[in-house]
Structure 1
Amino acid sequence: MHAFAALLDSLIYTRSRNAKLRLLADYLRATPDPDRGWAMAALTGDLDLPGVKPAVIRALIEARIDPVLFRMSRDYVGDTAETVALLWPAPALPVDPEPLSVSGVVDRLAHLSRSDAPAVLADMLDRSDAEERFALLKMATGALRIGVSARLAKTALADAFGLDVDAVEEVWHGLKPPYDALFAWAEGRGEQPTAADVPVFRPFMLAHPLEDLRLDLNDYAAEWKWDGIRVQIVHVGGETRLYSRTGDDVTGSFPDVASAFREPGVVDGELLVKGEFQGGALDAGGGAASFNALQQRLGRKSVSAKMQAEYPAFVRLYDILFDGAEDLRELPWHARRRRLEAFVPRLDSERFDISQVIEAEDFTALEAIRAGARDAAIEGVMLKRRDSPYIGGRRAGLWYKWKRDPLTADCVMMYAQRGSGRRSSYYSDYTFGCWTEEGELLPVGKAYSGITDEELRMLDRFVRNHTLARFGPVREVEKTLVLEVAFDSIHRSTRHKSGVAMRFPRIARIRTDKPAAEADRIETLQRLVT
């Protein structure tokens, strides 16, 4: 456990991607099985220890120190695991001197009931130093937040043993922690695992932002960028699975889509919800509701028949990776497109259609088409090189995303809260509102991104110097500072008193030049609802 704790500690204070890769690779080469396998599971989000919940950890520490001291410390530090690791008192009685191992911790915690978990976890914390306690709590709750993505961890594994990262990614979801077969292959002790009979995830091909480029439409095809969630659908060996862009299995949230896809193959598309009054077969390129409707189903492990009926899901297909057992990824886009057009008619037309190619004479004409698109489900335009193979990750010059220009509104800061991680000492999460006709200020959104470090410090000073009241970790501030907020779209919401909810709000500018009374009204936002 000590080596894993030291790894996490080093990763937290390392900003360089290459340095992180070296730290991870060194750990994986030096650490024996199964510890390194369970460490990889923790780093990639594949470790589930249901007996340990944040509430258990809070109860343990508040039984040992003053609860007010803990909450004040947590508010300042910004991370529960770090706060508990530092505040945990020394045990009153001697403890077992046997050091903890990663595999030993996982094996013990994975088989505990929720009633037994507190005592066992407390014993482990008593036997650990502060660094090990931090690693233990992070691993137990599955919320590492150490600046390492699943892709980076897999890249480090590939680098450590001279493997191709896409080959690692391709078989990853067909294997279970602690990945004995994967490490046996990596060290030359076993055969390469295959994905022949298992519905595994393949890395998505991703796009670069278009920025200031102007492309020749003889070389690039244009499609709408739909505002849902990107999914990969795999049907192999009589089983269908849906994967999100990060490789998470989301089949349980969309059983209606999974059960309707019975054609052997692998496709890439956008998961959407049918628009209001949309029934029967999908039309050519429309029929999608806003992302707000899709959110009703996201993150659910099981979905009731009522919810499936109220929010019927479908997938608008972009690409095809496999047709049956035939791997099509090396084919150019235009050839895959023809295969996709032949594949889609074999699917249920109530659940699947194809993303239409935008017909435009040239790039100038495409600009005009994009500028006029304000459909609730359109996020922008995709441009795909016609001769591009399907390659996992981002490759320069092949695919571009050209998001539509954001909407903006001038809003008044109302509340602030400290952030997490390196922003835990600053008030960096801001709730902002707009005016009603009666002159009441109602919240319309919350944002924490879009600002520079200098602007963060300026806003933090404003919050501290203009606080009106405190509600736990939240500060209410004087309603005098205007923020220009950019957002992708806005939707009606019954959960918010204002009746609207922004999609991807971020702070575009701090409007110190504008009086709060001149900020936008909620009726202005309501006119932007899609």
Structure 2
Amino acid sequence: MHAFAALLDSLIYTRSRNAKLKLIADYLRATPDPDRGWAMAALTGEIDIPGVKPAVIRALIEARVDPVLFRMSRDYVGDTAETVALLWPNPAPAPADDPLTITQAVERLLRLSRSDAPAALAAMLDRSDAEERYALLKMATGGMRIGVSARLAKTALAQAFELDVEAVEEVWHGIDPPYAALFAWGAGTAPQPTAHDVPVFRPFMLAHPLEDVRVDLADYAAEWKWDGIRVQIVHVAGQTRLYSRTGDDVTGSFPDVAAAFTEPGAVDGELLVKGDAQGGALDDGAGAASFNALQQRLGRKVVSQKMLADYPAFVRLYDILVDGEEDLRALPWTERRGRLEAFFPRLDPDRFDISPVIEATDFTDLETIRAGSRDAAIEGVMLKRRDSAYTGGRRAGLWYKWKRDPLTADCVMMYAQRGNGRRSSWYSDYTFGCWTDEGELLPVGKAYSGITDEELKMLDKFVRNHTLNRFGPVREVEKSLVLEIAFDSIHESKRHKSGIAMRFPRIARIRTDKPAAEADQLATLKRLIT
């Protein structure tokens, strides 16, 4: 655990991507199995310990130190794991000849029930120093926040053993932690794992934003960019898996879609919910509800029959990667589109359709079509080079995403809270609101992105100088600062007092020129609901 704790400490204070890659690669080469496998699982968010949740950790520390002291310290530090690691009493550190290892910690906690895991975690914390406690808690809760993405960790593994990162990514989700087969391949003691018998994840082909570029539609095909979640569906050896863009297995949340995909192969598409719950075959380019409807299904490990009936899911297909055992990714887009259209009739029409190609005479005509695309389920336009192979990641000039222009609203800052990680000492998360007809200010959203470092300093200073009340880590501020908020769409929401919820809100401008009384009315935002 000590070496892993040292790795995390170094990663937190390292900004350079190449330096992070070297730190992880050096650790993986120097660390034996299975510790390095569990370390990779922690770095990539693949560890889920049911018996250790934030509430359990809070209960453990509040039984050992003054609860008020802990809460005040947590508010100041901004991170629960770091706060507990520093405050935890250290009555019996582990002897030098019997250090706590990652494998011991993870495998023991995974075996224990929810009732037994807290005591075991406390015993481990008792025998650890502050750095080890921090690493243990971060690993146990899965919330690293150390500036390392899953992709970067896999890239480091590939570099450590001179492997192709795309090959690592492809088989990653078909191998369980601690990835013995993967490290054996890297060490040269076993052959490369293959995708013939396991429904593995293949890296998605991604698009660059279309910025000040006009393309020739003779070279590019245009499709709608649907507002759902991108998924890859794989069926191999009688098994079907649904993967999100980040490679997470979401099959359990959408068993209805998985059960309907029984053709050997792999396809790429957009997971959506039907525009109504009446069922029936889907028509190309129609039938999709807003993202708000899809959210009712996301993240659910158990999906009730009522949920399946009220929010029936389907997939709008974009591409085909594998047909049977034939890998089609090297073919140009035009040929893959033909293969997809031939593959599609084998699928359940109640669960699958194909995203239509937009018919436009030229780019100017496409601009006009896009301008009128304020549909609840449309996020913009995709432009795909007709001769492009399906290559993982973003490759310049092949695919472009042309998102529709965002909506904006002038809102008043109401509350602020410190951020996490590097922003833990700054008030960087802002709740904002709009006026009702009666002159009441109601919260309509929360944003923490879109601002520069200088703007962050300015807003942090405003919060500190204009605080009215404190509610734990949250500060209520004077209702005098207007923020221009950009957002993709807005939907009805029964969970919020305002009755609305914004999709992807971010701060577009700080409106020091505008009085708070002139911020937008809630009724104005409700007219934008799709």
The reply to whether TM is greater than 0.5 is yes
Which stretch shows the higher mean deviation, 406-415 or 274-283? 274-283
Which stretch shows the higher mean deviation, 475-484 or 269-278? 269-278
* Count of residue correspondences: 529
Partner Cα distance (1:87, 1:168) in 2: 40
Is 1:150 equivalent to 2:178 in the alignment?
A: no
Match of 1:62 in 2: 62
- What does 1:71-150 align with in structure 2 at a 5 Å threshold? 71-91=71-91, 96-97=95-96, 98-150=98-150
Shift of residue 277, structure 1, vs aligned partner: 6.3
Q: Which amino acid is the alignment partner of residue 337 of structure 2?
A: R
User: What whole-Å deviation, never above 9, does each CA across 1:36-83 have from its counterpart, x for those lacking one?
Assistant: 011111111111222211112111211221111111111111111111
Partner Cα distance (1:338, 1:406) in 2: 34
Partner Cα distance (1:336, 1:451) in 2: 41
What SS does structure 1 have at the residue aligned with 2:152?
Answer: helix
Q: Which amino acid is the alignment partner of residue 122 of structure 1?
A: A
Match of 1:430 in 2: 430
What SS does structure 2 have at the residue aligned with 1:442?
Answer: strand
Is 1:169 equivalent to 2:169 in the alignment?
A: yes
User: What whole-Å deviation, never above 9, does each CA across 1:241-289 have from its counterpart, x for those lacking one?
Assistant: 1000011110110011111111111000000001136631111201111
Shift of residue 177, structure 1, vs aligned partner: 1.2
Is 1:243 equivalent to 2:243 in the alignment?
A: yes
Partner Cα distance (1:130, 1:277) in 2: 53
Q: Which amino acid is the alignment partner of residue 499 of structure 1?
A: G
Partner Cα distance (1:277, 1:69) in 2: 51
What SS does structure 2 have at the residue aligned with 1:266?
Answer: strand
- Are the counterparts in 1 of residues 432 and 445 from structure 2 also a CA contact under 8 Å? yes
Partner Cα distance (1:421, 1:484) in 2: 26
Shift of residue 319, structure 1, vs aligned partner: 0.2
Shift of residue 444, structure 1, vs aligned partner: 0.7
Is 1:226 equivalent to 2:226 in the alignment?
A: yes
Partner Cα distance (2:110, 2:350) in 1: 41
Match of 1:256 in 2: 256
Which stretch shows the higher mean deviation, 51-60 or 480-489? 51-60
Which stretch shows the higher mean deviation, 418-427 or 290-299? 418-427
What SS does structure 2 have at the residue aligned with 1:216?
Answer: coil
Match of 2:525 in 1: 525
Partner Cα distance (2:179, 2:118) in 1: 28
Q: Which amino acid is the alignment partner of residue 154 of structure 2?
A: K
Partner Cα distance (2:121, 2:279) in 1: 52
Partner Cα distance (1:175, 1:229) in 2: 24
Match of 2:323 in 1: 323
Match of 1:307 in 2: 307
What SS does structure 2 have at the residue aligned with 1:32?
Answer: coil
Partner Cα distance (2:373, 2:51) in 1: 48
Partner Cα distance (1:285, 1:278) in 2: 18
Match of 1:371 in 2: 371
What SS does structure 2 have at the residue aligned with 1:108?
Answer: helix
Q: Could you say if the C-alpha distance between residues 302 and 94 of structure 1 is closer, same or farther in structure 2, counting changes exceeding 3 Å?
A: closer
- What does 1:340-359 align with in structure 2 at a 5 Å threshold? 340-359=340-359
Partner Cα distance (2:94, 2:211) in 1: 60
Which stretch shows the higher mean deviation, 95-104 or 219-228? 95-104
What SS does structure 2 have at the residue aligned with 1:414?
Answer: strand
Partner Cα distance (1:477, 1:235) in 2: 53
Q: Could you say if the C-alpha distance between residues 103 and 294 of structure 1 is closer, same or farther in structure 2, counting changes exceeding 3 Å?
A: same
- What does 1:368-517 align with in structure 2 at a 5 Å threshold? 368-517=368-517
Q: Could you say if the C-alpha distance between residues 94 and 377 of structure 1 is closer, same or farther in structure 2, counting changes exceeding 3 Å?
A: closer
User: What whole-Å deviation, never above 9, does each CA across 1:342-382 have from its counterpart, x for those lacking one?
Assistant: 11111111110000011111111111111111000111111
Which stretch shows the higher mean deviation, 459-468 or 275-284? 275-284
Partner Cα distance (1:290, 1:415) in 2: 29
What SS does structure 1 have at the residue aligned with 2:373?
Answer: coil
RMSD between aligned alpha carbons?
1.1
Partner Cα distance (2:498, 2:61) in 1: 39
- Are the counterparts in 1 of residues 235 and 262 from structure 2 also a CA contact under 8 Å? yes
- Are the counterparts in 1 of residues 232 and 243 from structure 2 also a CA contact under 8 Å? yes
Q: Which amino acid is the alignment partner of residue 15 of structure 1?
A: R
Structure 1: unaligned runs, 5 residues or longer: none
- Are the counterparts in 1 of residues 279 and 312 from structure 2 also a CA contact under 8 Å? no
- Are the counterparts in 1 of residues 14 and 20 from structure 2 also a CA contact under 8 Å? yes
- Are the counterparts in 2 of residues 263 and 324 from structure 1 also a CA contact under 8 Å? yes
Q: Which amino acid is the alignment partner of residue 205 of structure 1?
A: M
What SS does structure 1 have at the residue aligned with 2:298?
Answer: coil
Which stretch shows the higher mean deviation, 457-466 or 479-488? 457-466
What SS does structure 2 have at the residue aligned with 1:86?
Answer: helix
Match of 1:283 in 2: 283
- Are the counterparts in 2 of residues 269 and 315 from structure 1 also a CA contact under 8 Å? yes
Partner Cα distance (2:495, 2:151) in 1: 35
Is 1:184 equivalent to 2:163 in the alignment?
A: no
- Are the counterparts in 2 of residues 272 and 313 from structure 1 also a CA contact under 8 Å? yes
Q: Which amino acid is the alignment partner of residue 119 of structure 1?
A: A
Partner Cα distance (1:4, 1:96) in 2: 18
Q: Could you say if the C-alpha distance between residues 437 and 343 of structure 1 is closer, same or farther in structure 2, counting changes exceeding 3 Å?
A: same
- Are the counterparts in 2 of residues 265 and 322 from structure 1 also a CA contact under 8 Å? yes
Shift of residue 95, structure 1, vs aligned partner: 5.5
Q: Which amino acid is the alignment partner of residue 360 of structure 1?
A: A
Q: Which amino acid is the alignment partner of residue 297 of structure 1?
A: R
- Are the counterparts in 2 of residues 278 and 287 from structure 1 also a CA contact under 8 Å? no
User: What whole-Å deviation, never above 9, does each CA across 1:429-460 have from its counterpart, x for those lacking one?
Assistant: 11111111111111111111111111111111
Shift of residue 305, structure 1, vs aligned partner: 0.7
- Are the counterparts in 1 of residues 37 and 180 from structure 2 also a CA contact under 8 Å? yes
Give the % identical residues.
84
Structure 2: unaligned runs, 5 residues or longer: none
Is 1:212 equivalent to 2:220 in the alignment?
A: no
- Are the counterparts in 2 of residues 435 and 519 from structure 1 also a CA contact under 8 Å? yes
Partner Cα distance (1:41, 1:480) in 2: 46
- Are the counterparts in 1 of residues 94 and 128 from structure 2 also a CA contact under 8 Å? no
Partner Cα distance (2:46, 2:267) in 1: 24
Match of 2:43 in 1: 43
What SS does structure 1 have at the residue aligned with 2:14?
Answer: coil
Partner Cα distance (1:205, 1:103) in 2: 35
